[in-house]
Amino acid sequence: TMHPLLPLCVLWLLPVALMLETDSPQNCVPRRLVPYHSDNALLFQEEGVFNYSTMLLREDLGLLVLGAREAVFALDLANISNKNSSVEWKVTEKQVSKCRGKGKDPENDCKNYIRALHMLKDGRMYVCGTNAFDPECDYLSFENGELTLKKTGQDGKGKCPFDPFQKYASVMLDDELYSATSMNFLGSEPILMRSSGDASIRTEFKSSWLNEPKFVSMAWVPESVQSATGDDDKVYLFFTETAVEFDCYNKLVVPRVARVCKGDLGGLRTLQKKWTSFLKTEINCPVLNSPLPLLIQDSYLWCDYNLSWKECIFFAIFTPQSYTSDVSAVCAYNMSDISRVFSEGKYKTSVNVETSFVKWVMYSGEVPVPRPGACINNEARSMRITKSLDLPDRTLQFVKDRPLLDQAVEPVSGEPLLMRRGAAFTRIIVNQVQAADGRKYHVMFIGTGKGTILKAVNYDGEMFIIEEIHIFQTPQLINILAFSTATGQIYAGSDQGAAQIPLANCERSLSCIDCVLARDPYCGWDAAGAACVSLSTPERHLIQNVAAGDASLCPDADPIKVVSLSVRVGGKLELSCPPPSSLTNVRWERGKSVLTSSPRQQILLDKLLILNATAGDAGHYCCSSVERSKAGEFTTTVTEYQVSIDPADPNVCDRSVTPKPQTNGPSVAGLHAVIALLVIALAALSAWTFCKRYRPQFSNCTNRSEQTQEAVGHQNAARPAMAEAKPLVSEPQNSCRNNNAV
Ligand SMILES: *[C@@H]1O[C@H](CO)[C@@H](O)[C@H](O)[C@H]1NC(C)=O
Ligand SMILES: *[C@@H]1O[C@H](CO)[C@@H](O)[C@H](O)[C@H]1NC(C)=O
Ligand SMILES: *[C@@H]1O[C@H](CO)[C@@H](O)[C@H](O)[C@H]1NC(C)=O
Ligand SMILES: *[C@@H]1O[C@H](CO)[C@@H](O)[C@H](O)[C@H]1NC(C)=O
Ligand SMILES: *[C@@H]1O[C@H](CO)[C@@H](O)[C@H](O)[C@H]1NC(C)=O
Ligand SMILES: *[C@@H]1O[C@H](CO)[C@@H](O)[C@H](O)[C@H]1NC(C)=O
């Protein structure tokens, strides 16, 4: 007789299985999960202070300047647990009551949240805070080991948000602050502004310029350097906004990139004190099966300053805008591709379809010269236009009406570098490292909504998450990430505190095979010292193979110490075998035979459980982990046991009774085993479809493309495998296995 719950269970799991199967290509599982441990990171926390969300690296002073709620800290860059100085910036009672009078929460809203923290040329810093919904900016200096605020009480409107929950972006360039925020108390007047002293240049307050935007990040690109066209430097702004150009959704939010020229002074009559160079376009990160575009959350400009700015790459993270999906993605954008869209792309223009209905279409008419929205370049100079004030009205009116370009910016190789289900990506930084193979790899460090940092590389199109490190004890959103080349350390901030981690912690790998399969470009195996060490360790030949994870280069491992155990007849035996990575499959052998799971002898994720031991259970047990990489399958012995069975105590147990054969079908324990088995099969199944290459097709609103033929093919191929949910220990099918599935 079958357990009554069993068929139900299978019925319930099958749809789950199919769902997981279709989703699995979008999920890369970290090879190693590093649970919270106080050694993972150096921490900084100040009693009673929260919301650590602004950072300024002062490598010149060896300091990390950290902005929080009502306070700024100067921490030792080498070890942020050491505080050098701090300064409070609290709101006054009068300001709190004014803020409360406007209906804001005195405990949360009516505080001073530090939002901008930038360095000035003279070594001082410029700092802005929300100041109880009345933004203020000030000068901050570090002298004689002390941080001090000048208390100038500058108006921060347009430089800093009123609302501490509002996203915000700013950069400082030549002592001029570029800020993207909201100008007013209600948060309804968005602005991209450059301010220097009393002078400012800003965006038009028009929905075609900015339409309910959420600002994400900003970066300066030195495009004037060795420019053949005499071009200007630019500031790029990433944000999301409600699209004006789509009419099939009520409110479709899209990710955008906009840019302005550093030398822009506004127009003389048209666009007076407004940007003449504000152009924007959509930025795509196509994820298969996502009906709505994913939204940008953060970007990181990676540049090798020995090369041209054209070699710079923007790495950006995206999260879904609907609750139907939880796939976060990273896309990379070639700077020269972005630049080409802005300098050559077509414009969109609005046309009145009916009396009150406006449609945005590609503009195919004549475009004025100089090109609307272009920086002042040699071509303009040849027309005796040396500054934006000289631009003709025709050009200015054109860009005032049509700041949106027709062509979207597409990511390098047309698809995400990384996709992961689960906790949303919140921040990204990227570091480049030269691996032992001489090639340079971009290593992505991604903060998540649950206080972890993912370390990932895309190896020639293969997504690979080296590890996921828990840096905070409790789940908390990573507000900010920064990287210092001076210390080679990564700094993270959350509402509860700040943390510092190194780029790599090679010691986490204890064996050569694990060190090589980790595919961490910072680490290699030192055969002489028998340790996984940092690649920067001088004068050593290290074993590393990041591109394929070829662990056959490893020397034979030392034999494992055999653990002797004894158990009495009828007793319970637990043989542990912690899998070295989440991508391995575990194999148990007794003597020469491979064990399969049964109700009495259960193979669990990290151990073998033998119930009601019999004399026949004595013997030599060996647990090995099998991990697959591009280069093949690698087996490591994890644990070995020599088990002996003591005769049972005759007073307790009747030796003449032999264990009853399992003819009665699954017991409750049996049911558990069957579930465990199904779960393992599911994991294998999702592994099977995981990380398969596919061609994403971005569905936009007019032309929703269906799943590709190839992906459908995978599904069909996978289904028979599902039906035979028999293999008790699933064969490793692919390098990535979906552990999150269960
Ligand atoms: C500040 O931190 C507190 C405590 O974690 C949190 O409840 C609050 O939402 C945070 N406020 C902002 C504006 O992030
Ligand atoms: C960092 O500083 C803390 C506090 O002074 C100290 O306990 C810790 O050992 C230091 N860690 C390192 C790696 O220097
Ligand atoms: C910060 O403090 C540390 C000792 O805690 C000291 O070694 C370092 O010089 C200080 N840095 C500055 C910039 O004063
Ligand atoms: C840039 O060039 C200098 C000198 O040529 C070299 O020392 C440095 O490592 C290079 N930087 C990068 C990021 O390649
Ligand atoms: C960026 O695009 C340029 C021109 O298309 C190309 O030469 C360069 O290799 C690309 N860089 C990357 C990282 O794809
Ligand atoms: C173990 O033995 C006990 C009694 O000897 C029996 O009740 C139980 O069902 C057995 N369990 C298994 C898994 O065989």
Nearest CA to ligand 5 atom 12: 334
pLDDT at 2: 41
Using pLDDT thresholds of 50, 70 and 90, give the confidence band for residue 249.
Answer: low
Say whether pTM exceeds 0.85.
Answer: no
207 lines ligand 2 (CB under 6 A): no
How wide is the angle at C-alpha 418 spanned by C-alphas 414 and 420, nearest 5°?
A: 130
336 lines ligand 5 (CB under 6 A): yes
Pocket test for ligand 4, best of 303, 305, 306 (most atoms within 8 A of CB): 306
Task: Quote the distance between the C-alpha of residue 394 and its chain's center.
Answer: 43
**pLDDT over 50 (residue 657):** no
pLDDT at 18 over 50: no
- Considering only CA atoms, which residue is closest to atom 5 of ligand 2? 82
685 has a pLDDT exceeding 90: no
Ligand approaching nearest to the C-alpha of 662: 6
Q: Tell me the average pLDDT across 641-645.
A: 92
Ligand 4 mean position, distance from CA 454 (Å)? 27
* Protein residue with its CA nearest to atom 14 in ligand 6: 600
Q: What is the pLDDT of residues 465-499, one digit of tens each?
A: 999 999 999 999 999 999 999 999 999 999 999 99
Which of the ligands is closest to the CA of residue 500?
2
**Looking at residue 355, what is its pLDDT?**
67
Statement: residue 652 has pLDDT above 50: no
Q: Strands 593-594, 498-502: parallel, antiparallel or unpaired by DSSP? A: unpaired
Which residue's CA is the closest to the ligand 5 atom numbered 13?
334
In this structure, which ligand is nearest to the CA of 130? Answer: 1
Q: Where are the alpha helices (DSSP H) in 352-496?
A: 378-382, 393-401
The ligand placed nearest to the CA atom of residue 143 is 3
Ligand 1 interacting residues, C-beta cut-off 6 A: 50-51, 113, 164-165, 495
Residue 83, ligand 2, Cβ within 6 A: no
The confidence score (pLDDT) of residue 115 equals: 96
Mean pLDDT of 716-742: 32
Average pLDDT for the chain: 85
Q: Does the pLDDT of residue 361 top 70, yes or no?
A: yes
Q: Report, as an integer, the average pLDDT of 588-602.
A: 92
Ligand closest in space to the Cα of 114: 1
- Rounded to 5 degrees, φ, ψ at 225 are -65, 120
Ligand 1: residue of 53, 70, 108, 115 to mutate (most ligand atoms within 8 A of CB) is 108
Burial class (CB in 10 A: 0-12, 13-18, 19+), 29: buried
Question: Is residue 556 very low, low, confident or very high in pLDDT (cuts 50, 70, 90)?
Answer: confident
> Could you read off the pLDDT of 125-141 as tens digits, one per residue?
999 999 999 999 999 99
Q: Binning pLDDT at 50, 70 and 90, where does residue 25 land?
A: low
pLDDT tens for 290-341 read 888 999 999 999 999 889 999 999 999 999 987 778 899 999 999 999 999 9
Tokens of 607: 């151990």
Q: State in Å: Cα 577 to ligand 6 middle.
A: 24
Which of the four pLDDT bands, split at 50, 70 and 90, describes residue 148? very high
Q: Which ligand is nearest to the CA of 669?
A: 6
Query: Percent of the chain at pLDDT above 70?
Result: 83
Query: Averaged over 218-234, what is the pLDDT?
Result: 95
Ligand 4 binding pocket, CB closer than 6 Å: 304, 306
> How would you list the strands of the sheet with 584-590, edge to edge?
562-568, 632-646, 619-629, 584-590, 593-594
CA of 306 to the centre of ligand 4 (A): 6
Neighbours of 505 (CB within 10 A): 19
- Which CA distances in Å does 662 have to 440, 613, 649, 667, 689? 58, 14, 24, 9, 35
pLDDT for 80-105, tens place per residue? 999 999 999 999 999 999 999 999 99
Query: Residue range 682-707: average pLDDT?
Result: 35
For residues 558 and 174, which has the higher predicted lDDT (pLDDT)?
174
Q: Which of 1, 10, 156 is nearest to 677 (CA)?
A: 10
Give percent of the chain above pLDDT 90: 72
Q: Please, what are the domains in the chain?
A: 203-310+336-413 (2.130.10.10), 506-553 (3.30.1680.10), 562-645 (2.60.40.10)
pLDDT computed for residue 711 by the predictor: 33
* pLDDT reported for residue 557: 81
Ligand nearest to the CA of residue 431, numbered in listed order? 4
Taking the CA of residue 85 as reference, the ligand 3 atom at the shortest distance is 1
Distance 62 CA to ligand 3 centre (A): 8
CA 361, CA 711: separation in Å to the nearest integer?
33
**Which residue's CA lies nearest to atom 7 of ligand 3?**
76
Q: Is the CB of 534 under 6 A from ligand 3?
A: no
Which of helix, strand or coil describes residue 671? helix
The DSSP bridge partners found for residue 279 are 259
- Lowest-pLDDT range of 176-190, 192-206, 551-565, 713-727: 713-727
Whether residue 273 has pLDDT greater than 60: yes
Residue 19 has pLDDT above 50, yes or no: no
The pLDDT of residue 526: 93
| Residue nearest to ligand 4 atom 10, measured at CA | 306
- Of all protein residues, the one whose alpha carbon is nearest to atom 14 of ligand 3 is 145
Residue 378 above 80 pLDDT?
yes
Q: How far is the CA of 140 from the centre of ligand 2 (A)?
A: 27
The alpha carbon of 652 and the centre of ligand 3 are apart by a number of angstroms equal to 70
Q: What is the mean pLDDT of residues 1-18?
A: 38
Average pLDDT over residues 718-735: 33
User: What mean pLDDT comes out for the span 719-740?
Assistant: 32
Residues 66, 81 contacting (CB under 8 angstroms): no
| C-alpha 438 to ligand 4 mean position (Å) | 15
For residue 334 and ligand 5, the question of a CB distance below 6 A is answered with: yes
d(CA 554, CA 559): 14
Closest Cα to atom 3, ligand 5: which residue?
336
Highest mean pLDDT among 293-302, 714-723, 732-741: 293-302
